[in-house]
């Protein structure tokens, strides 16, 4: 199972939110690049970068931070937040992102999303399935739609999507444990996808549970920043994983 620390960026700084609420933001590091280098020094190979300013503005804002991370580390980076146009997704790849996570656009403009899936390929495009009570949320989670999570997944998996990040918004940033039952149900229904868990990871035992379920990867945010999972312990898990 891939271990994927998260760097969420507001005003060029590393922050964490609780349940996607921007009013709860807490700054953990003034430099996303420094944070990325710390992760890399502890054996991390993958990184999840989210432009939270971009998610709200509906255009990429913090592209310089993405570019710096991609240029100055060897981390495999997936990027999301504000990717709404052909120019934006090309900017993300030009800045060095290995993959781009697309969530809101898959709801707002299905035809454009499918164009990207065809153009860049299923290994470059990740479907972002951000869910609240099994309904898809978009635009930095500020809007919850009536689109059912499982309908959403089935639709795009049938179109060739292979990589999915599923975030349980109610768990995100709460350090209350991840949604193992939900992920288990998704894998049972769609056994061919590479599913990455996001939201709620609170300790090494949680990672062990997700690995047992069969997740492709797990995104970890606040548990690292609040030292619930010290980087030395995370490094040991990566080595033995």
pLDDT tens, 19-42?
778 888 999 999 999 999 999 999
Q: Is 8 a catalytic residue?
A: yes
Domain residue limits, the chain:
2-240
Q: Which fold has domain 2-240?
A: TIM Barrel (3.20.20)
Q: Is 130 a catalytic residue?
A: yes
Classify the C-alpha dihedral 56-57-58-62 as positive or negative.
negative
Q: Which of 51, 53, 78, 130 is catalytic?
A: 130
Does the pTM surpass 0.85? The reply is: yes
- More confident call, 230 vs 179: 230
pLDDT exceeds cutoff 90 at 169: no
């Amino acid at each position: 199972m891939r271990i994927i620390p998260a760097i969420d960026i507001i005003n060029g700084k590393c922050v964490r939110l609780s349940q996607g609420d921007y009013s709860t933001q807490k700054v953990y590091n003034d430099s996303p690049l420094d944070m990325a280098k710390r992760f890399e020094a502890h054996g991390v190979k993958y990184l999840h970068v989210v432009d939270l300013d971009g998610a709200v503005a509906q255009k990429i804002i913090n592209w310089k931070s993405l570019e710096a991370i991609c240029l100055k580390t060897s981390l495999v980076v997936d990027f999301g937040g504000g990717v709404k146009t052909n120019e934006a997704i090309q900017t993300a790849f030009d800045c060095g992102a290995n993959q781009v996570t697309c969530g809101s656009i898959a709801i707002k403009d299905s035809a454009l999303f499918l164009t990207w899936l065809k153009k860049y390929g299923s290994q470059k495009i990740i479907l972002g399935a951000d869910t609240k009570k099994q309904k898809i949320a978009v635009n930095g989670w500020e809007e919850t739609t009536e689109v059912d999570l499982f309908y959403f997944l089935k639709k795009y998996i049938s179109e060739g999507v292979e990589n999915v990040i599923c975030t349980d918004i109610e768990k995100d940033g709460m350090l209350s444990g991840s949604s193992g039952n939900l992920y288990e149900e998704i894998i049972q229904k769609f056994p061919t996808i590479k599913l990455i868990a996001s939201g709620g990871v609170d300790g090494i035992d949680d990672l062990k549970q997700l690995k047992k379920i069969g997740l492709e990867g797990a995104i970890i945010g606040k548990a690292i920043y609040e030292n619930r999972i010290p980087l030395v312990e995370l490094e040991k898990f990566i080595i033995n994983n």
